[in-house]
């Protein structure tokens, strides 16, 4: 539960906007871990409990299913832009250190929050990056989060190598293909998907580009 920390939240903070950032790293998490997403959306009510009126609370969830390593996350970019423009008084995330999964983005956000005076909150508490102890804690949590992801990738790579050595590894097939029970790869039975992919290849053969013109919508 978020600590109220009334000494950190000022009238100036509440006169600015609160941004709730919702993210899960993969589409599989989005589909299977719905409880986590529900808990993140509940942070909107947390912002209300902390004194923000609903009209000043913005929910950013367009990065659901986007990896933290993806530099094209529009939601995170919009959040950073709002902070740099001085519009934000509070950022809420289920885990503050997971706002950005690499230290470059994380410290960029911390630096901006320090300059303009933005509070950062998660389920553990509320932090003021201008406070030395809070900034130190946030920095350490960012380092630990990145180290955790690095260790997880090492374990996944090791597991993949073992599967390859044992002849059990099955690579994910591209869109439009499916793997049958006997291990063979075949076209998807979805005829609409088949026709769309065939159209893309046909247009590429004709134009040398995969892009379809505005007057030639995919069918």
Q: Among residues 25, 67, 71, 186, which one is catalytic?
A: 25
25 in active site: yes
Looking at the DSSP bridge assignments, the partners of residue 120 are 91, 127
- 3-class DSSP string for the chain: CCCCCCCCCCHHHHHCEEEEECCCCCHHHHHHCHHHHHHHHCHHHHHHHCCCCHHHEEEECCCCCCCCCCCCCHHHHHHHHHHHCCCEEEEECCCHHHCCCCHHHHHHHHHHHHHHCCEEECCCCEECCCCHHHHHHHHHHHHHHHHHHHHHHHHHHHHHHHHHHCCCCCCCCCCCEEECCCCCEEECCCHHHHHHHHHHHHHHHHHCCCCCCCCCCCC
Contact 101, 145 (CB under 8 A): yes
Contact 89, 18 (CB under 8 A): yes
The residues annotated with a catalytic role in the active site are: 25
């Amino acid at each position: 539960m978020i600590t109220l920390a009334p000494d950190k939240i000022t009238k100036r903070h509440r006169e600015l906007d609160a941004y709730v950032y919702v993210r899960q790293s993969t589409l599989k998490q989005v589909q299977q871990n719905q409880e986590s997403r529900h808990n993140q959306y509940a942070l909107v009510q947390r912002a209300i409990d902390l004194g923000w009126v609903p009209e000043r609370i913005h929910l950013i969830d367009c990065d659901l299913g986007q990896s933290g390593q993806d530099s094209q996350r529009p939601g995170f970019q919009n959040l950073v832009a709002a902070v740099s423009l001085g519009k934000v008084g509070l950022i809420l995330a289920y885990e503050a250190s997971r706002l950005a999964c690499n230290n470059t983005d994380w410290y960029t956000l911390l630096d901006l929050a320090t300059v303009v005076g933005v509070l950062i909150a998660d389920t553990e508490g509320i932090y003021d990056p201008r406070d030395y102890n809070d900034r130190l804690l946030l920095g350490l949590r960012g380092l630990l989060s990145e180290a955790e992801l690095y260790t997880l990738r090492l374990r996944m790579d090791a597991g993949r190598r073992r599967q390859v050595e044992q002849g059990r590894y099955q690579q994910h097939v591209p869109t439009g293909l499916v793997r049958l029970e006997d291990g063979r790869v075949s076209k998807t039975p979805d005829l609409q998907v088949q026709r769309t992919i065939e159209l893309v290849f046909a247009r590429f053969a004709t134009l040398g580009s995969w892009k379809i013109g505005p007057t030639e919508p995919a069918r």
